[in-house]
Chains A and B, each alone.
Chain A
Amino acid sequence: MIYLFIIYPILYLIILITGIINYAKIKDNFYLKLFLFFIAYSLTTEILGFVIGVLYEINTYPINNGWILVSHFFYLFFFLSLLKSAFKRNIVKYGIVCYTIYTLINISFFSDYLTEFLDINSIVGGILIVISIMIYFSELVQSDGILNLKKSMFFWISLGALFFYIGVIPVDVIAKFINFGVVLRVITLLLNLLMAGFFITGFIVSEKEYNR
């Protein structure tokens, strides 16, 4: 059962390979290239997590907490880069500032980064990301720019992130109170599959001219 965790590295490996094959489509945008690095980083995290945590059964909290923080900041800056309206950008910017301050205080005084799961961080960050995706959508609805959303990698990434974070929030909340049981593991796995599906589809169907 525990070996089911091998699925995660494999999943990220598939996303990474699809991304590299379709690199030409995304090479015009800095954040999309960064996204590829982020995927590579996630893959490393998952491999380390699998080797250290599952095979050697050593505590992987620092690795996982690192991933949580990096992913939150990555997505927040990613969606910030997509926004044009100054007002909406400011909302996300303040979100990022507050989140940074909160994280610093939390790690310095309350949570132990090395030995426990940064649960509140995970919840707050997830909510912030969902909010910034909603803001991005609200701008999409108003803009004339993109006439074909399906050809935009940004849109596919936002779908993947939206479903993942919106689904993972209840899990994170409840994981604070009970043990991380089978059902929660299955939910997390399904959410990851869903997200990977969106990313992979995005790499395949998006088009270069919409990824600038």
Chain B
Amino acid sequence: MEQERIQILVLVVTIIVIVLAATLVVFLLYFQKKKTAYILKQREIQQRFDKEITKSKLEIQEQALQNISWEIHDNVGQLLSVAKIQLNILQLNAPQEQQIKIQETGDIVSKSLQELRGLAKSLNPDAIKNRGFEESISNEVDRFNRLKFVNASLKILGEPFSLSNEKEIILFRIFQEFSNNTLKYSKAKNLAISINYTNNQLEFIAEDDGIGFDLTDESNQNGIGLLNMKSRTKLIGGEIEIKSAKEKGTKIFITCPK
């Protein structure tokens, strides 16, 4: 009898202990849920913050590029124009044998002026806005071919439409980053670009046939160019895929929603 009572007592104690442990666990789960919610919110805030930072960085960059562009156009351009005019005056009363030389020099100055204007336009965000994405790209392609940097080609598919100014500028800057890399590192002969307008998005592909590089290699992750391409694409809600292999060339594939 006594034994039975003790056993019941043990049962009760066990139940109490278990209930206490259960309470503890429930409390833990509740706390963890609260914390999860809090962390998720923090992350969201952080992401929004990062986005703002990227955005303002871009704005500052664009501003700087615009200033450089103005500087080239107004200052250097002006100086070259003056040089051209003076060459013309010089040509008038120069002896016959120097006429041709001066004529050639004048042509070089004109060409420089033209190239500088082109460069100024490709740097200036307003010019990109005015000309639009497709035409800006096509101008760059012409410029590369004219200067014999690479053999560039542009292919356009689908029914063209334009994106918002912001998206177009950013896409163009991504392309510039890519083509800079191609010119700087790839030793490529060809640069193939294609723009494909589909129903709800724009697909942009640029591909060089140069030496390529190892994407996973630490030493290539130091540059900010590739990172910038990614963060910029994210900013306009698009997706980017960068592919490269040694001796096979490098390729970017971007999709950007309308």
Contacts and interface: CB of A to CB of B under 8 A. Distances in A.
Interface of A is mostly: helix
Interface in B6-23: 6-11, 13-14, 17-18, 21-22
A137 B28 CA distance: 8
Nearest to A178: B3
Contacts, number: 64
B17 A159 contact: no
B32 A141 contact: yes
Contacts of B40: 147
A174 B25 contact: no
A123 B29 CA distance: 28
Interface in B178-208: none
A85 interface: no
Contacts of A187: 10-11, 14
Interface residues of B, number: 24
A140 interface: yes
Contacts of B32: 140-141, 146, 149
A174 B11 contact: no
Contact of B3 (A147, A162, A170, A181): A181
B39 interface: yes
Nearest to B12: A170
Contacts of A149: 28-29, 32
Interface in A182-205: 182-184, 186-187, 191, 194
Given A141-B31, A144-B39, A183 B7 contact: yes
Interface string A150-173: 000000000100110011011100
A82 to B, nearest CB: 15
Interface string B44-68: 0000000000000000000000000
A171 B39 contact: no
A144 B35 CA distance: 8
Task: Name, among B4, B24, B32, B40, the residue most crowded by chain A CB atoms within 10 Å (CB to CB).
Answer: B32
A171 B11 CA distance: 8
A147 B17 contact: no
A208 to B, nearest CB: 20
Q: Which secondary structure characterizes the binding site on chain B?
A: helix
B160 to A, nearest CB: 44
B27 to A, nearest CB: 10
Contacts of B9: 174
B10 A184 contact: yes
B114 interface: no
A179 B4 CA distance: 10
A170 B8 CA distance: 12
Given A144-B39, A163-B18, A187-B11, A174 B6 contact: yes
A148 interface: yes
A141 B28 contact: yes
B36 interface: yes
Contacts of A194: 18
Given A163-B18, A166-B17, A167-B14, A178 B6 contact: yes
A194 B39 CA distance: 32
Given A144-B39, A147-B36, A166 B28 contact: no
Given A159-B25, A166-B17, A181 B7 contact: yes
A140 B17 contact: no
Contacts of B21: 162-163, 166-167
Given A159-B25, A166-B21, 12 more contacts: A141-B31, A147-B40, A163-B21, A167-B18, A170-B10, A171-B10, A174-B7, A177-B6, A178-B3, A187-B14, A191-B14, A194-B18
Interface of B: 3-4, 6-11, 13-14, 17-18, 21-22, 24-25, 28-29, 31-32, 35-36, 39-40
The 7 residue pairs across chains A and B that have the minimum distance between CB atoms: A183-B7, A170-B13, A174-B10, A167-B14, A147-B36, A166-B21, A178-B3
Interface of A: 137, 140-141, 144, 146-149, 159, 162-163, 166-167, 169-171, 174, 177-179, 181-184, 186-187, 191, 194
